[in-house]
């Protein structure tokens, strides 16, 4: 199993991330991609990747963090160039309208997202998309994200992480060549619409992830999440699609290896 989206760089893991990583590798996780959310945390995911052979990194400025940092693409380019073997994606980046109410903030998120698209092109890396709609209209951010990507002169490869929208939106991302990343949300009791998406999307286009420390899957819902729990996401997909767990693990791992260009030599 490969946990394609984790934040072991977050403060809550400061005291035990090594332990958490070892436990994950002991429990069948073959690789972990940790995701930066601003420049500082992007430096930290690289530091963790340098410490553990099968940890990799993604770097970017999260849409909810754009007020905290003046986004400077050059700094991210320098970071990637400092260790291109370990930094496998740009992100997470995208749109998050959940807590914002005014148009100016939406426009700023869109501008910074477009700069991440340029970064992905310049560095020839896939992109990790974050998307969360407003409370009034949960699809709005997804539709805006789709229209920006469709209008872009360059469409990178990538994944829409923690996918929680419906089949219609899923199909639009699939049509653009994106993978869908599923988290522990699919194990939650109220996830029936999302289960339709999992059921209908080709396993070859699915990635599994935890989004640790958030979104711990059942039976650990409400606890601090960690990469070893990615197994519960794989198990739920196997159940929904009526496939052997082994096949789900095998195919989603191959998907991650392909998208993030992970070395096949390290027993993944």
Cβ 23 to Zn ion shortest distance, Å = 20
Cα(100)–Cα(262) distance, integer angstroms: 36
State in angstroms the smallest separation of the CB of 78 from Zn ion: 23
**Site for Zn ion, rule CB under 5 A:** 211
Among 123, 111, 195, 112, CA closest to 158: 123
Q: Which is nearer to Zn ion, 38 or 211 (CB)?
A: 211
**Cα angle 15-18-75, degrees, rounded to a multiple of 5:** 85
> How many Å apart are CA 244 and CA 226, to the nearest integer?
23
Reduce the DSSP state of residue 55 to 3 states and report it.
strand
Q: Which residue, 129 or 248, is less far from Zn ion as judged by CB? A: 129
C-beta closer to Zn ion: residue 214 or 241:
214
Q: Name the nearest CA neighbour of 59 among 39, 85, 33, 32.
A: 39
Q: How far is the CB of 226 from Zn ion (least distance, A)?
A: 14
Residue 209 C-beta: closest distance to Zn ion, Å: 8
Least distance from Zn ion to the Cβ atom of residue 152, Å:
22
Stretch (H or E) spanning 59: strand 55-59
Quote the CA–CA distance of 158 and 127 in Å, as a whole number: 5
User: Which residue's CB is nearer to Zn ion, number 30 or number 62?
Assistant: 62
Closest approach of Zn ion to the CB of residue 233, in Å: 14
Question: Looking at beta carbons only, is 119 or 246 nearer to Zn ion?
Answer: 119
Phi/psi class of residue 181: alpha, beta or left (left: φ > 0; alpha: ψ in -120 to 50)? beta
Distance between CA atoms of residues 191 and 3, nearest Å? 21
Selection from 231, 224, 210, 216 nearest residue 15 by Cα: 224
- Beta carbon nearer to Zn ion, 144 or 211: 211
């Amino acid at each position: 199993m490969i946990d394609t989206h984790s934040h072991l760089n977050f403060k809550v893991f400061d005291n035990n991330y090594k332990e958490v990583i070892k436990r994950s590798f002991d429990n069948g996780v073959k690789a972990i991609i940790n995701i930066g959310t601003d420049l500082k945390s992007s430096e930290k995911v690289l530091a963790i990747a340098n410490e553990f052979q099968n940890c990799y990194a993604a770097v970017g400025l999260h849409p909810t963090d754009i007020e905290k940092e003046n986004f400077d693409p050059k700094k991210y380019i320098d970071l990637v160039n400092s260790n291109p073997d370990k930094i496998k994606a740009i992100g997470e980046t995208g749109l998050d309208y959940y807590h914002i109410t005014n148009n100016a903030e939406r426009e700023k998120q869109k501008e910074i997202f477009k700069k991440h698209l340029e970064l992905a092109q310049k560095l020839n890396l896939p992109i990790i998309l974050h998307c969360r709609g407003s409370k009034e209209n949960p699809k709005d951010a997804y539709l805006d994200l789709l229209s920006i990507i469709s209008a872009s002169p360059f469409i990178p490869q990538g994944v829409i992480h923690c996918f929680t929208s419906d089949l219609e939106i899923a199909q639009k991302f699939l049509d653009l060549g994106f993978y869908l990343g599923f988290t522990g949300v699919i194990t939650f009791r109220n996830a029936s619409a999302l289960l339709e998406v999992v059921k209908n999307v080709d396993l070859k286009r699915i990635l599994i992830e935890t989004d640790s420390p958030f979104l711990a899957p059942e039976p650990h819902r409400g606890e601090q999440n960690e990469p070893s729990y990615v197994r519960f996401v794989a198990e739920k997909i196997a159940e929904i699609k009526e496939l052997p767990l082994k096949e789900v693990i095998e195919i989603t791992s191959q998907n991650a290896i392909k998208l993030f260009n992970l070395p096949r030599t390290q027993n993944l």
